[in-house]
Amino acid sequence: MAAFTLRRLGEMVAVLFAVSVLTFLIFNVIPASDPAQSMAGKSATPQLVASITEEWGFDDPLPQQYLTMMGKIFSGDLISYQGQENVVERIVEGIPATFSLCIGAAVIWMFFGILFGYLSAVRAGGLLDKLLTVLAVAGISIPVIWLASVLLYYLAYKTGLFPAQGYVELSEDPVDWAYHLILPWFTVAVTLVGLYSRVLRSNMLDAMNEDYVRTARAKGLGERQVMTRHVLRNSLIPIVTLFGLDFGALIGGSAILTERLFGLDGVGLYAFESIENLDLPPIMAIVLFGAFFVVLFNALVDIAYAYLDPRVKLGSSAR
Amino acid sequence: MASELHAEASPTGSSPWGLALRRLRRNRVALAFGGLFVLIVLFVLAAPLWADHVADTGPNQTHTLEKIEVDGERREVVNVEGKPIGPVWLGGGGKFFLGADGRLGRDEMVRLMYGGRASLFIGFAAALMTTVLATILALLAGYYRGWVDTVISRTLDLIWAFPVLLLGIGLGIALALGGLAIGPVEIPSGSIWITVLIIGGVLVPYMARPLRGQVLSLREKEFVEASVAQGAGPLRVMFGELLPNLSSTIIVFFTLGIANAMLFEAALSFLGVGVQPPDTSWGSMIGDGFNLISSAPLLTILPGTMIFLTVLAVNVFGDGLRDALDPHSKVLLEAHSGMAEPEGTAI
């Protein structure tokens, strides 16, 4: 187990390194993005551009530039080209909003995903099951942008029931914090509730045909106990897997849309602004930040999986 | 010959495809949504007809300072405050059926029809690209195993590790500005093919991973061994033996891939890094209209609804297709699944 964990962590570092190199390359082959030019402004003299190039080391060989940038990211004094603010500080500032959004949404989508999946598996073929299936498929197909616009217009702009934009710190006012986040939470959760309830439903239906369920029934357990203790429990393992991956991906950048739509001042919004300005330092840092969470949760899922399901073979023999 | 023998033996006398078709035909819901999809396709195909003969304008033609006659009353297309005219239905003789799209006063209905062309085209082309690439990679990795598999799988893992939307946006910015030139192939910046390439490429791992798993298990089956024993080469085994056994999964993945690609396109174009003007798509229309959401919500909600309906139709039909082709299969490729396959599991 320890060896397996170590091996996964080692792989994590390798993948993150590759991700950073790739990101660096993607943004360095853009012809139109000479950072010295954009920093100097539109009416800059060639001398100014040259001196900025010199000062920031844009003339260094690419590997050298890459190393300098990575060094700055880890020492925390990376400066953005546009506005020249501290990138790491900006990301740290955005973390509360992004985490509030993702964690709150995760609670909602897990709760309803499991509840709906359970209900429709227990009542498989019934009216409730059909209704929930329709809702789930609709949920999966909803474009986030559409849902957000409809909610924004009808619940915020037209009726004024909810605030349309902005984020309030949790420490400042917890009620207002939640009030500002309800619509974004709901927006993120809806598509995933559909997916999770359907995955859980199909897993539970499969599990119901297993021998251990027959055994549980044969020894006289009540239907509810069979369902919760045996069927549901075993069917939750893939859900945990899926959750880890989706949550990592959400923090790692899927929240950009929601943050932009609801004006939440998080890492995603910062990412979007930096990309619009072709501001490489923050982009590098944010992609690494995002990839870190994706890779971290991938690894956590593998480890949790091995822990939850002892049948999983560890090590390279798994292939 | 083999199929004839099979036909005689089975009482229904149907091939697997025939059976699947019959199952699909019995699935009314799936067929209804398939019909909805066809209607949407017809709607966007009719764009030039509507533009030329009914609305009498093009998708990019501006009418900022013009006035139109609605039910005998003259109204400004865009008023002094910059607010566009709302839907006038048939009051304007077909002009501005759904109103105008903003300060520029373009005909929303015409744009909705043309925008749908781009959205559907990108969804279709990107899904096709993903499916072809994913299938080839999965076949190579699953057939050769060993270092080929390692190289392919690690590369896919790498793309996988990128936050997918960030990667799409990054590539969108990079390529939308500079265009793309690989050898003789040159795609100018702003071409919608760039969006196709980005989406088609970025989504490959999500399809290739589950397919690779299937190939790996098929590879162990006797029919592959038999084929190799008969002297079949790698190509023959991959495309003659393995591919046909994957076909039902591939068809389902392709269908659901269209839905995924369309959602991705909407996100990219909304953020301004997908379809570039003068082209328009439903996603970029939402992006244009979003600033006006409090005064002219339809500009955002209408194209969004079109995406929703199309994706819904494709998903429900794809689901029915999966049930028909392989009632026992558990393949799932919605939004981000197919991911449910952590590395520790024995595939």
Residue A37 lies in a domain: yes
Query: Residues A61, A120: one domain?
Result: no
Query: Residues A260, A129: one domain?
Result: yes
Q: How many angstroms away from the CA of A197 is the closest CA of chain B?
A: 12
Please give the structure tokens belonging to residue B46. Answer: 């009719």
Euclidean distance between CA atoms B254 and B256, whole angstroms: 6
Closest chain A CA to residue B216 = A319
pTM of the model: 0.86
Q: Which residue's structure tokens are 């971290």?
A: A296
Of B166, B304, B316, the CB nearest to A290: B166
Contact predicate A270/A282, CB 8 Å: yes
- Which chain A residues are Cβ-neighbours of B166 within 8 angstroms? 252-253, 256, 271, 286-287, 290
Q: How many angstroms away from the CA of A242 is the closest CA of chain B?
A: 6
Euclidean distance between CA atoms A309 and A183, whole angstroms: 36
Query: Residues A97, A178: one domain?
Result: yes
Of B167, B273, B315, the CB nearest to A137: B315
- What is the pLDDT at residue B307? 94
ipTM of the complex: 0.84
Residue A269 lies in a domain: no
Query: Residues A167, A243: one domain?
Result: yes
pLDDT tens track for A162-178: 888 888 888 888 888 88
The CATH number of whichever domain residue A143 belongs to comes to 1.10.3720.10
Query: Residues A154, A179: one domain?
Result: yes
Q: How many angstroms away from the CA of A192 is the closest CA of chain B?
A: 9
Residue A301 lies in a domain: yes
CA nearest A258: which of B333, B178, B267?
B267
Asked if A257 and B270 come within 8 Å (Cβ–Cβ), the reply is: yes
Contact predicate A267/A98, CB 8 Å: yes
CA nearest A188: which of A294, A290, A268?
A268
- Which chain A residues are Cβ-neighbours of B174 within 8 angstroms? 26-27, 29-30
Dmax (CA) of chain B: 82
Q: Which of A146, A201, A289 to mutate to test the interface with B (most CBs of B within 10 A)?
A: A146
Residue A86 DSSP class:
B
Q: How many angstroms away from the CA of B300 is the closest CA of chain A?
A: 7
- What is the pLDDT at residue A33? 57
Query: Residues A202, A306: one domain?
Result: no
Last residue of a domain, one of A264, A291, A309: A264
- What is the pLDDT at residue A193? 92
Q: How many angstroms away from the CA of B263 is the closest CA of chain A?
A: 6
Asked if B174 and A26 come within 8 Å (Cβ–Cβ), the reply is: yes
**Domains of chain A: total:** 2
Query: Residues A143, A43: one domain?
Result: no
- Which chain B residues are Cβ-neighbours of A318 within 8 angstroms? 343-346
Query: Residues A14, A152: one domain?
Result: no
pLDDT tens track for A8-66: 788 888 888 888 888 888 777 665 556 676 666 666 777 877 877 777 777 778 888 88
Residue B231 DSSP class:
T
Residue A270 lies in a domain: no
- Is the minimum CB–CB distance between A184 and chain B shorter than 8 Å? no
Window 263-292 of A, Cβ < 8 Å to B: 271-272, 275-276, 278, 283, 286-287, 290-291
Residue A308 lies in a domain: yes
A53 is in which domain, residue-wise?
A: 1-83+277-319
- Which chain A residues are Cβ-neighbours of B263 within 8 angstroms? 143
Contacts of residue A201, Cβ cutoff 8 Å, sequence gap at least 6: A117, A120, A121, A124, A129, A133
Q: Which of B165, B256, B281 to mutate to test the interface with A (most CBs of A within 10 A)?
A: B165
- Is the minimum CB–CB distance between A32 and chain B shorter than 8 Å? yes
Asked if B161 and A305 come within 8 Å (Cβ–Cβ), the reply is: no
Euclidean distance between CA atoms B166 and B158, whole angstroms: 14
Q: How many angstroms away from the CA of B334 is the closest CA of chain A?
A: 7
Residues of chain B with pLDDT under 50: 1-10, 331-347
Residue A272 lies in a domain: no
CA atoms within 13 A on the CB side of A21: 9
Query: Residues A195, A309: one domain?
Result: no
Last residue of a domain, one of A264, A285, A308: A264
Please give the structure tokens belonging to residue A269. Answer: 């919004």
Contact predicate A105/A188, CB 8 Å: yes
Residue A3 lies in a domain: yes
- What is the pLDDT at residue B75? 79
Q: In tens digits, what is the pLDDT along chain A, a chain of 319 residues?
A: 678 778 878 888 888 888 888 888 877 766 555 667 666 666 677 787 787 777 777 777 888 888 888 888 888 888 887 778 888 888 899 999 999 999 999 999 999 999 999 999 888 888 898 889 888 888 889 998 999 999 999 988 888 888 888 888 888 888 888 888 999 999 999 988 988 998 898 888 888 888 888 888 888 888 888 888 888 888 888 888 788 888 888 887 778 889 989 989 899 888 888 877 777 788 888 888 888 888 888 888 877 777 776 665 554 443 3
Q: Are strands B180-182 and B73-76 parallel, antiparallel or unpaired?
A: unpaired
CA nearest B288: which of B97, B59, B129?
B59
Q: Which of A22, A26, A140, A283 to mutate to test the interface with B (most CBs of B within 10 A)?
A: A140
Please give the structure tokens belonging to residue B156. Answer: 């896919």
Asked if A256 and B315 come within 8 Å (Cβ–Cβ), the reply is: no
Query: Residues A59, A156: one domain?
Result: no
Q: How many angstroms away from the CA of A220 is the closest CA of chain B?
A: 30
Query: Residues A185, A247: one domain?
Result: yes
Residue A78 lies in a domain: yes
Contact predicate B63/B100, CB 8 Å: yes
Query: Residues A5, A103: one domain?
Result: no
